[in-house]
Structure formats: structure tokens, C-alpha cells
Homo-oligomer: A and B are copies of this chain.
Amino acid sequence: MAVERYDVVGVGNAIVDVIAHVEDGFITDHELSKGAMTLIDAERAVGLYASMPPAIEASGGSAANTMAGIASFGGAAAYVGKVRQDQLGEVFRHDLRAAGVTYEQALASEGPPTARCLILVTPDAERTMNTCLGISNLLEPDDVDERLVAAGRVVYCEGYLWDVESAKAAIRKAMTVAKGAGAKVALTLSDTFCVDRHRAEFLQLVEHDVDIVFANEAEICSLYETTDLDEALRRVRGHAEVACVTRSAAGSVVLTADEVIEVPAWTAGPVVDTTGAGDLYAAGFLYGYTTGKDLFSAGWYGSIAAGECISHTGPRPQRSLAELFAEVPAPVR
């Protein structure tokens, strides 16, 4: 193994993104749920793909994007997620390893193909995601290498995985191993519809199992079934040790029992494609957190990473985040 300890070990759905830019009419014509992640079956994927404009392929997957971001800052990251031994599986593995992330899992020699997410980006830079989970959805406890997970300071899990029983069991195993090893457990709520599907379990997790929770405003409000953001923020402060709530152009707020810290957003230019923005915010925050920075500074790493991500098509950094961070003046507090 490349290093003995990891700043963060991520567990998630391993996915290759298929990204096309479309007009808003495409979203309505195909009855897509704008801005959300919708699960689709293989048949629907074939039909939707056939109707899409020419696309590009880029490795994605929420937690994998986050690990790539951490590595881009210079952090030590490892990943657990399942791809098939097929062309897209090889693309996924290559891109993650080339980003500097430890990813030792063997490509599965049988089963459904590697997961694809058909992403439509509208002129407002919003992304609408349609995921055909393929083999990623067959992640199971045996796929979770206990030694790897125990080597992480933080174990970071996707809420998306809660959609499938075996994957949920895999995450629970990872969380248990992490706790036993004295690691922190982090969870992203992933998507408002995902929160809707699993609210009771997510509440349990946030109250009892999770040390660091990531959510955007809509997701945290959905978790507590309120339209009052302040109410949602107040409640999450009593639960997780640290909560990071992202607010798009308004930046983020980092909350603990004692503090509420507002962090400004940062952009590198026009916003082109918001795919991966939340994943990269988490990357920056976790890089700062695991390298001992204060919470404001950790949030600022998140702002830089998210700002780079939304300046181009594709969910992972296209330049060194460590170099970018060194170039951007620190914000006034």
C-alpha cells in the first residue's frame, strides 16, 4: 500500500459521468427532475442516452470526486467502490489512481457493467443527474477492506449508498471499523430526494454515528422537515460534532456546538457546470480538517475546491488544488 495512514478513506458509488450541455427544454421534454439525482434502470438509460446530444465521459462518483480533490491538495486519500472489468471500469480506476488516490479493489470479473451517470447541464450551469447504478450498487460488506478503512483518520460515506441494502451494510461495516479504530465518521446527505427516501435512518446516523455531516441548505432542511434554515441549523448543531452546510454562491456555514462560522464562496470565473461542487467542497474541508486547520480555514479550502470545480465541465479538479490554493489571497475574516 502506498502509505500506511490516510487522511480520508471514501466509500461510495463508483461511476463514470456522461456529460452533455442542453437547453432547459430538454429537461422538461424528458420529464427529468432538474438539479436532482434520479436512479434509472438500464432500459431507461439506453433511451435517455439515445436522445442526448454528443457528450464527453469523465470519471465521477460523489465520494470518488471528493477523494480526488483531497489528493489534489496533497492529502492522502483511499477509496472503496465497485466497478466492473470493462472499458468504463478501467477508465474509472485509471482516473482515480492517476489523481493520486489509493484504489486497490480488483475490477469485478462478472456482474452488471460499471455505473454511468447521464448528466445534463443546462445554461444556468445546474446539473441534472440520471444514474444507472450497474455494479456499483452491488457493493457489499466483503468489499470493505477493514485494514484500509482502519488506516483512515476520517471515513467519508455517501448518503447515495443508502439506496441499496447491501451497500448500506457495507457502509455500516465501514463506520463500525472506523469507530473501532478511533477514526471520525463523515457523511454527506447527497441529495434532497435521497434524504426523503431515508430520513429516519439519516436522522439516526447524524444523531448517533456521524461526527461530520455535509449537506446543502435544501438537504439539511429536508432532514429536519422544515423550511426554516435556522431551525435546521439549530437542530444539526445538537447532533453531529461538525456540520458543514453549503449555500452555493453564498458560501458555507460550519457549525459546532459552540460556533457558527460563515465562510465566503470563491469562484475562478464564470460558472460552467456545478457537477461535483458539493463533493469538492467536502474535499477541501476534509483536507483542512485532517491537516489540523481551524474550521474557517477548512471551509475556505472547501470554497477554493468547489470554485475550481464549477469553472469547467466535469466533476474533478482540472488543475492542482494545492497550487491554486497558494495563488488565491486569503479571505478577510
Contacts and interface: CB of A to CB of B under 8 A. Distances in A.
Interface string A86-101: 1110010011101100
Chain multiplicity (copies) = 2
A114 B88 CA distance: 13
A113 interface: yes
A87 to B, nearest CB: 4
Contacts of A59: 54
A58 interface: yes
- Tell me the dominant secondary structure on chain A's binding face: mixed
A57 B54 contact: no
Given A94-B49, A113-B87, A99 B314 contact: no
Contact of A50 (B87, B88, B94, B114): B94
A274 to B, nearest CB: 18
A151 to B, nearest CB: 23
Interface string A26-63: 00000000000000000000000110111111110000
A129 to B, nearest CB: 17
A54 B316 contact: yes
B56 A98 contact: no
Given A87-B87, A87-B113, A88-B87, A56 B58 contact: yes
A300 to B, nearest CB: 24
Q: For chain A, which range describes its interface: under 10, 10 to 19, 20 to 34, or 35 or more residues?
A: 20 to 34
A63 to B, nearest CB: 16
Contacts of A54: 59, 68, 94-96, 98-99, 316
19 contacts: A18-B91, A21-B318, A50-B94, A52-B94, A52-B98, A54-B94, A54-B95, A54-B96, A54-B98, A54-B99, A55-B94, A56-B56, A56-B314, A57-B58, A57-B91, A86-B86, A86-B87, A87-B87, A87-B114
